[in-house]
Structure 1
Amino acid sequence: MSKEEDNQAIVGRWFTDFWGQTCDLAIVDELAAPDMLLQYSLHEPRRGRDDIKAFMTGFREAFPDLSFWGAADLIAEGDYVVGRWEGGGTHTGPAFSDFLTGGLPAATGRAMRFTGTTVLKLQNGKIVEEIGLDDGVSALTQLGLIRAA
């Protein structure tokens, strides 16, 4: 397999096992570089395996049905893989204050569904960066953290 095919396979596993319906945090130790950067517009940037696991643990406690899935084929070039996705969940868990615009009290019952595009950088078979642009306005509006115009 080519480097691009290897990288696509790694990112495919990451999307399925980390972001998919059933998160397996062991995938972080397997596929993420020790100082991996995870950065999306809705949240503060996260760095390192422990920080990324803590982020996902809290996110999934607040949104137990959280799930993301691919919306198009992955595109790979050199060290980079680009993926488009859709996802969301319903806030039925504890209070959640990880959004940059504010927090949610426990169990609001509000659902969010939104889309995004993510660029992942890999080195030596490990993900070193995941930087994404998401439709945070849609998610935050659905959750009642910002008002629709």
Structure 2
Amino acid sequence: MATENTDPKEVARRYVEVVWNEGNVGAMDDILTERQVYHDPTDDGAEPLSEFKEFIRGYHRAFPNLDFTVDRYIAEGDLVAFWGRATGTHEGSFMGIEPTGNRIDIMGINVVRIEDGKVAERWANFDIFGMLSQLGHDLLPA
């Protein structure tokens, strides 16, 4: 069932608040289509919504106080671009890194495509090197 408000910016706002900030996996069926097309520097392809739900669960296990603050949403047609800052405390295993208790503070840029009032396609790019460095796993040689 599509969300009541199908304005692309409002759908994107709900995606950020409910999925990323609240980690509300149960509400994801109302926010995202069953099949997701996902584009990011490390992965590019279709995935079932169930896989994205597990991804969100993993992020919230690793960073229970995860908070994504959006600076601005810009919409054109069915596409919404937004960027902002993600913060949180590393309290669970993440990418094979055991909890450090360190805080992360990284920037990210996202674009979502809205279809029938739901997020159907996602592009994401965030400061993974900064995140790993903040977790004590700097990949750059000293």
Contact 2:86 2:106 in 1 (8 A): yes
CA contact (8 A) 2:129 2:139 kept: no
CA RMSD of aligned residues (A): 1.9
Aligned to 2:61: 61
Change (3 A) 1:131 1:54: same
Assess if the C-alpha contact under 8 Å between 1:119 and 1:131 holds in 2.
Answer: yes
Q: By how many angstroms is 1:58 displaced? A: 1.2
TM superposition shift of 1:143: 1.0
Give the drift of 1:84.
0.9
| 1:74-114 Cα deviation digits (max 9, x unpaired) | 11111100001111211112x222xxxxx202x21122110
From the superposition, tell whether residues 91 and 146 of structure 1 become closer, same or farther in structure 2 (CA, over 3 Å).
same
> Counterpart in 2 of 1:17?
18
Length-normalised TM-score, structure 1: 0.81
* 1:81 is the counterpart of 2:73: no
| 1:33 aligned residue | 33
1:116-148 deviations in Å (ceiling 9; x for gaps)? 111101112121111111122211111122255
- 8 Å CA contact 2:23–2:57 kept in 1: the answer is no
How many pairs align? 135
TM-score of the aligned structures, taking structure 2 as reference length: 0.84
The 5-angstrom pairing of residues 1-149 of structure 1 reads 6-20=7-21, 22-41=22-41, 44=43, 47-72=47-72, 74-93=73-92, 95-97=93-95, 103-105=96-98, 107-147=99-139
Runs ≥4 residues deviating over 2 A: 37-41, 43-46
CA separation in 1, counterparts of 2:20 and 2:89?
A: 15
Q: Distance in 1 between matches of 2:136 and 2:85?
A: 20
Name the CA distance, whole Å, in 1 between partners of 2:38 and 2:121: 6
Gaps of 5+ in 2: 1-5
Amino acid in structure 1 at the alignment position of 2:113: K
Give the Cα separation in 2 of the matches to 1:38 and 1:111. Answer: 27
Which one-letter code corresponds to 2:114 in the other structure?
L
- Aligned partners of 1:70 and 1:86 also within 8 Å: yes
Secondary structure of the 1:119 match is strand
